[in-house]
Structure 1
Amino acid sequence: MQNDIIKCGLTEQKDSRFVDTIEKEAYVWCEKDWKHDDHEHAHHRAQLTFVEEGYQYFHIDRKIYLVPQYHVIWIPSGKAHQITSEARTVNLMVFLFKTVFGDDFYKDVQVFAVPPVLKEMLLYASKWNQLIQEDEEQDLFIKAILKSLPNFCRESSYLEIPVPSDVRIIPVCTYINSNFKYNLDTDLLAEKAKMSIRSLQRIFKNETGITLQKYHQLVRILKSIELIDTGQYTLSQIAYMTGYQSLSAFTASYFAIMKSRPKVRKTASGSSSQSL
C-alpha cells in the first residue's frame, strides 16, 4: 500500500488531487527551501502563495506565471497548477482557504507585488505556521488578509508568459526561449512556423495576446531575474548576457515589465548589492 504524501497539510492521492481533512477555514503553511513536484496538481482550497525568497514559476491554463520575491499569486479553488523554479533557494508562505468572498477578484489567477502593509501582515501570520487547530486571532487575521487582497492587487499581466495552442507556433517560442540573447529574426521565425511573416505575426498575437517583440522582451527579463537571483553577476554583466546593448537599455526594459528597478542580491561572501 502506498504511503500517504502530506503537502501543506493536505493528503495527496495518486491522481494528483488532495484529500482535505482539516476543519479550519484557513491556515498558513511555511517551508524553507521548497521542494518542487514534476507534475500538475489541484485541491479544493483556494491558495495564496507569497514568495519570501527566490522566485517561482506557476504553470496554469497554458500560461506560465512568474512570481518573483515579494510577490504573491492567488489561485482559485480547484485550479490545476504545477510549480517550477531554478532559484538557489525558494522560501514560500502558502495560505489555504476553504471559502472566499464573492468578489470577481477571487475567481481568477492573480499575481501582484506585495505592498509594505500586506508584506508585514503576511510575515506576522507566519507565527501560526502549520497550526491547524482553531485559534480565534489567527482566523480573524487571515480572514482580514483575504478580504484586503482585491484592494492590494494591481494589474500584473506583464508577469504572464502565454503558451500557444497552435502547434505551428511552438517552435517559434522554443527558438526565442533558447536564443533570447539575439535580436529577433522574423524571417527565420516565419520559416520555422512554415508561414509568411505577416501570418506569423497575426497568428502569434491571436494565440498569445502579445506581439513577438513583447514575448522576446518578457523572456529576456525573466532570464535576467534568474541571473539576478544567483548573486554572481553585476547588472552590467546581466544586461550583456540577456542581449542588451547597454545597462540603461536593460534597466528601461526591466522597469517596463516589472514596474521596479533591477537590484542585485548580496552574495554569500557579503559583497554589496548593485541597484539602479
Structure 2
Amino acid sequence: MQSAKLKCGLIEEKKGFYNDAISKDAYVWYEKNWQHDEYEHIHERAQLTYVEEGYQYLHIEQKIYLVPKNHVIWIPSGVKHRTTSEASTVNLMVVLFKSEIQSDFFREVHVFAAPPVLKEMLLYASKWNKLADEDEEQTLFLKALLNSLPNFCNESRFLEIPVPEDHRLIPVCDYINTHFQENLNIDDMADLAKMSVRSLQRIFKDATGITLQKYGQLIRILKSVELIDTRQYTLSEIAFKVGYKSLSAFTSSYTSIMKEGPKVKRENNF
C-alpha cells in the first residue's frame, strides 16, 4: 500500500487527492528547484502560485495556462489541475487559502504579472515558509493580500492556450505545435481536419475563440519563453528557432502577446 506523502503542507493519501492537514487559514510554501508531480490532482484549498524563477504550465479543464517568471496564477478550491515544465529551474511560492471571498473573481482561474507591491508582499510572506503554527500577524497579512488580489490583477488572457474539444481539430493543433518553425500551410491543416479551408477557419475560431493565425503566433511566442528561460541563446537565435525571419518581427510579435519586450538578461531573484 502506498504511504501518504506531504506536499505543500497537504497529505496525499490517494494519488491526486489531498487531505487538509493544516489547521491555519493560510499556509505558505516556498521552494527552490521545485519538482511537482505531472498527474492531475485536486485539493479543497484555493491556491495562489508565484513563479520566481523559470516557468510552469497549468493544465486546467480545456485550457493550458503559461505562468512565466514573475507571474502568479489563482486557482479556486476544488479545481482539478496538473503542472508541467521543461524549465531547468523552477523556484516558486504557493499560498493555500482555506477561506475564500465570495465574489466572482475568486471563482475563476486568473494568470497575471505580479506588480511590484505584490512581489514585495510575497517576499515578506516568505518568513512564514512552511510554518504550521498559528500566527496572528500572518493571518491578518495574508487576508489583506487575498482581499487585494482583484486590484492587482490585469488579466493575461494571452497566456491561455485553448484546447479544442472538437476531435477534428486536435490534429491541427498538433500540426501547429510541431511545425511552428515553418510557414504554416492552411491547406495541409484543412486536409488533417478533413474539411474545407473555410470550414476549418470558422470551426477553429468558434471552438477556441482565436484564429488559426493567432494560435500559431501564440505557440511560437510560448516556445520562445521556454528558450529564453534556458539562457543559452541570443534573442536573434531564438527568433530564428521559433520561425521568425528577423529579430524585429519577433520582438514586435512577442511584445503584442506578452505586453513587454523579450529579455535574456538574468534578473535579481526575489
TM-score (norm 1): 0.95
Tell me the residue number matched to 1:107. 107
Tell me the residue number matched to 2:40. 40
Tell me the residue number matched to 1:178. 178
> 1:3 deviation in Å?
1.2
> Which consecutive unaligned segments of at least 5 residues does structure 1 have?
267-272
Tell me the residue number matched to 2:77. 77
CA RMSD for the aligned pairs? Answer: 1.0
> 1:245 deviation in Å?
1.2
How many Å separate the matches in 1 of 2:137 and 2:94?
18
Tell me the residue number matched to 1:270. none
* Contact residue 251 and residue 262 of structure 2 kept, 8 A: yes
Count matched residues: 267
1:241-260 paired onto structure 2 within 5 Å: 241-260=241-260
* Contact residue 4 and residue 14 of structure 2 kept, 8 A: no
Is the counterpart of residue 125 in structure 1 residue 141 in structure 2? no
How many Å separate the matches in 2 of 1:258 and 1:166?
28
> 1:13 deviation in Å?
2.5
Worse overlay, 69-78 or 7-16: 7-16
* Contact residue 50 and residue 70 of structure 1 kept, 8 A: yes
How many Å separate the matches in 2 of 1:119 and 1:265?
19
Tell me the residue number matched to 2:166. 166
* Contact residue 229 and residue 265 of structure 1 kept, 8 A: no
> Which consecutive unaligned segments of at least 5 residues does structure 2 have?
none
Tell me the residue number matched to 2:27. 27
Tell me the residue number matched to 2:216. 216
Give CA deviations for 1:118-169 in whole Å, capped at 9, x if unaligned: 1110111011100111001111111111010000001211000000111110
How many Å separate the matches in 1 of 2:123 and 2:68?
17
Which secondary structure state, in structure 2, belongs to the residue aligned with residue 169 of structure 1? helix
How many Å separate the matches in 2 of 1:177 and 1:114?
28
* Contact residue 27 and residue 142 of structure 1 kept, 8 A: no
> 1:184 deviation in Å?
1.8
Return the letter of the residue paired with 2:74.
W
Return the letter of the residue paired with 1:55.
Y
> 1:21 deviation in Å?
2.1
Tell me the residue number matched to 2:97. 97
Tell me the residue number matched to 2:10. 10
Return the letter of the residue paired with 1:211.
T
Give CA deviations for 1:182-210 in whole Å, capped at 9, x if unaligned: 12210000001000001101111111111
How many Å separate the matches in 2 of 1:54 and 1:16?
24
How many Å separate the matches in 1 of 2:163 and 2:236?
30
How many Å separate the matches in 2 of 1:250 and 1:20?
45
Deviating above 3 A after TM superposition, structure 1's stretches of 4 or more consecutive aligned residues are none
Return the letter of the residue paired with 1:90.
V
Give CA deviations for 1:192-231 in whole Å, capped at 9, x if unaligned: 1000001101111111111001100110000000000010
How many Å separate the matches in 1 of 2:164 and 2:249?
28
* Contact residue 228 and residue 265 of structure 1 kept, 8 A: no
Percent identical among aligned pairs is: 67
How many Å separate the matches in 2 of 1:204 and 1:164?
8
Return the letter of the residue paired with 1:22.
I
Return the letter of the residue paired with 1:223.
K
How many Å separate the matches in 2 of 1:230 and 1:155?
26
How many Å separate the matches in 1 of 2:87 and 2:252?
24
How many Å separate the matches in 2 of 1:15 and 1:69?
28
Is the counterpart of residue 227 in structure 1 residue 247 in structure 2? no
How many Å separate the matches in 1 of 2:198 and 2:36?
40
> 1:15 deviation in Å?
4.4
> 1:36 deviation in Å?
2.2
TM-score (norm 2): 0.97
